[in-house]
Amino acid sequence: MFDRIRRAMICLTTSDDTEIRDKLDEVKYRRAMKEAEIHVRRAIRHEMIIRMEIEHYRMREYNMTAKDLQDQKWKQKQERKKAAKAQASQEKLRLRSEYCPYGMPASRRRPVGGQASIDPGNEIMTEREKEEALLLTLAPIFK
């Protein structure tokens, strides 16, 4: 094909034949059309690549937003668990103080020589234990 084009160009430069000039013009026109078509295809491909990149970027953003939302929900759930545990331990301490008015359960108090009275006025209790018992018995009144 290139030989034809070269021959046509040589003929064009050497002769004034209109038929040869028309053939050469047709070859140039076809070449120009192919190049234009290639440019159009490249432009279309380039636009498609840009659209695809934008779509991938949006999908990544959406996935990251969904992941962030999921992480936020998980953190809130963990915080609620911690708060529930803290509240349960506070409730447990409150209930323990109601059931053990003298600061500690009967099994942990030290009975002395057969006298296991839990009376605040009993001489078995130390001064500190007496103060704690008095505070614990008076605490519900001031609430």
| Alpha helices for the chain (secondary structure H) | 2-14, 18-99, 127-142
Domain span at residue 138 reads 100-107+121-143
62 found inside a domain: yes
Same domain, 27 and 75: yes
142 found inside a domain: yes
Same domain, 73 and 131: no
pLDDT at position 25 is 79
19 found inside a domain: yes
Q: For the chain, how many structural domains are there in total? A: 2
Closest listed residue to residue 42, CA positions, set 30, 53, 34 = 34
29 found inside a domain: yes
Measured CA distances, 89 to 18, 82, 84 (Å): 105, 11, 9
DSSP state of 15: -
pLDDT at position 94 is 72
- Model confidence pLDDT, tens digit, residues 88-120: 888 877 766 666 656 666 666 665 544 445 555
* 21 burial level (CB within 10 Å; 0-12, 13-18, 19+): middle
22 found inside a domain: yes
113 found inside a domain: no
58 found inside a domain: yes
Higher pLDDT, residue 38 or 137: 38
pLDDT at position 65 is 95
